[in-house]
Amino acid sequence: MQEGWRGAVGVWCAAASINRRWDVPAAAADRGSHAKVTGLPPAAQTAGALTSSRTQVIEGYRRPVMRIVGIDLGVDHIHVCEIVEGVVQRASLRRLSELERILGPGSEPAQVGFEACREGWHVYDQLKEWGHEPVMLDTTRIRQIGVGQHRRKNDALDAEVIARAIESGRYPKAHVLSPARRKLRAQLSIRSALVETRTKHIVTIRGLMRAMGLRIASSRPDCFLKKLEEAPVPETLRAELAPLVAVLEVVQEQLERKDEELVALAKADDTVKLLATAPGVGLIVAATFVSVIDQASRFKSAQAVGSYLGLAPSESTTGGTKPRLGSITKHGNSMARAMLVQAAWQIIRSKDENDPLYQWVQHIRAKRTGKVAATALARKLATVLYAMWRDDNVYDGGKEARASRRGVTRSAQTEQLRALKLHKAEGKFERRKHKPVISEAT
């Protein structure tokens, strides 16, 4: 057995050492001349007889029929690795357009794996258009397939590890957003960049004024320019601040325009309006949640949503000891997590004694700190939003108060209550359109 194990390792190492430039016709013609993995029967003649089936039964063995390709998408280089009869073939590209030479239209169907990244959705759509089976891998669990093993990590090795994971069928698959959710996500990203730019310029202006012994009263960000104009600022300082003020005016104008576009998108999306009926949840929180979750049906339970967004506590329990819970995992989309935390703070500040969510978080605040309570409420709010989406129900405080610890269950609702809640949600959008507020939550 030991001799056979050493022989298998030797053949695999020899196969992995092959490193040559890609030539699609030559690669297809030379497959029979490459070394094969020891212990497998001779390969069948499959040239020109590829089918949609991923495996082919040969003398009791299951052998892949489709090409297996792994891609490591880098900023400056793209490394491609194909497993051909157990032998590695590699290629290094400089830009995405060069992928057409290897996987373009007319090439043999392939199962292509790559990590989720900025250009991941574009690559996914392009490969699917070319007739391949794209597989986008979840980057938060990429180490499970062996990336970075033994402190050896480079783009060429990553591409090979991805290809071997696809070949074995054991890989963490990432969810691919629908085109509508991608568009919503892009609009939210643009708005987030505008908000960050506005905040940075306001902080800079305030700092320069404080250095001169001057201050501006606190106000909403959209009212800052008006406050600055009314403030007794020396003309010399006002001239120095002119470039920052000019940029801030443009950013504020673009931000208001982007809010109007998001309001139009939200009104056309019934799910966003539905989720906005919850307390503390407005246009941005509801739209962000929808753009990240995409489909409520892909989660088995409400608790799974909290874990997916990184709001579940980490755990270190071994040896049958008491459960040891730590801080939240912070996996998943950071923007959605931040929006839910802001919505939680909005509920806490509202001090609505009739809201069961506020009553629930008050019990947590009595035992833990405010930050811990807000994070716990953010996780509970994520489960409530998921249950509302799944059951197609508007938020009902009485229903939430009666809900068991397993989550919100479906109950009969009158059309009058539903219409009232949806009308109030649209009112949140109109208030944002005409008079934006400080918090992102509403």
Distance in angstroms (rounded) separating the CA atoms of residues 234 and 232: 7
Residue 282 near residue 441, CB atoms below 8 Å: yes
Q: Give 232 or 414, the one with higher predicted confidence.
A: 232
> What is the average pLDDT value for the chain, to the nearest integer?
80
CB atoms within 10 A of CB 53: 10
Provide the whole-model pTM.
Answer: 0.73
Q: Which residue type is seen at 44? A: A
Contacts of residue 172, Cβ cutoff 8 Å, sequence gap at least 6: 137, 138, 140, 141, 142, 144, 145
pLDDT more than 90, % of the chain: 49
Residue 2: the pLDDT is 45
Predicted confidence band of residue 431 (pLDDT cuts 50, 70, 90): low
Residue 433: the pLDDT is 58
> What value does the mean pLDDT take over residues 317-341?
86
Q: Which residue has the tokens 């739209």?
A: 287
Predicted confidence band of residue 89 (pLDDT cuts 50, 70, 90): confident
User: Which of 9-23, 152-166, 170-184, 196-210 has the least mean pLDDT?
Assistant: 9-23
Among 24-28, 53-57, 314-318, the range with the most confident prediction by mean pLDDT is 314-318
Among 62-66, 146-150, 253-257, the range with the most confident prediction by mean pLDDT is 253-257
Q: Which residue has the tokens 């108060």?
A: 401
Res 404 pLDDT > 50: no
Task: Give the H/E segment covering residue 239.
Answer: helix 235-268
Residue 56: the pLDDT is 43
Residue 50: the pLDDT is 29
Residue 141: the pLDDT is 83
Q: Give 441 or 249, the one with higher predicted confidence.
A: 249
How does strand 67-73 pair with strand 110-115? parallel
Residue 223: the pLDDT is 92
Among 120-124, 405-409, 427-431, the range with the most confident prediction by mean pLDDT is 120-124
Q: Which residue type is seen at 96? A: L
User: Which of 55-64, 171-180, 247-256, 284-293 has the least mean pLDDT?
Assistant: 55-64
Q: Which residues are paired to 64 by β-bridges?
A: 55
Residue 229 near residue 245, CB atoms below 8 Å: no
User: Which of 143-157, 231-245, 356-370 has the least mean pLDDT?
Assistant: 143-157
Distance in angstroms (rounded) separating the CA atoms of residues 104 and 102: 6
Residue 383 near residue 306, CB atoms below 8 Å: yes
Question: What are the b/e assignments for 197-214, b being 16+ CB within 10 Å?
Answer: bbeebbeebbeebeeeee
Residue 234: the pLDDT is 92
Res 12 pLDDT > 50: no
Residue 217: the pLDDT is 86
Residue 121: the pLDDT is 93
Residue 371: the pLDDT is 93
Q: Is 224 left (phi over 0), alpha (psi -120 to 50) or beta?
A: alpha
Q: Give 405 or 367, the one with higher predicted confidence.
A: 367
CATH class of 2-41+49-168: alpha beta
Residue 329 near residue 319, CB atoms below 8 Å: no
Task: Give the H/E segment covering residue 64.
Answer: strand 61-64
Q: Give 415 or 374, the one with higher predicted confidence.
A: 374
Q: How far is CA 415 from CA 42, 131, 184, 420, 427, in A?
A: 67, 47, 29, 9, 18
> What value does the mean pLDDT take over residues 410-437?
64
Sorted by where each begins, the domain ranges of the chain are: 2-41+49-168, 179-260, 269-313+325-434
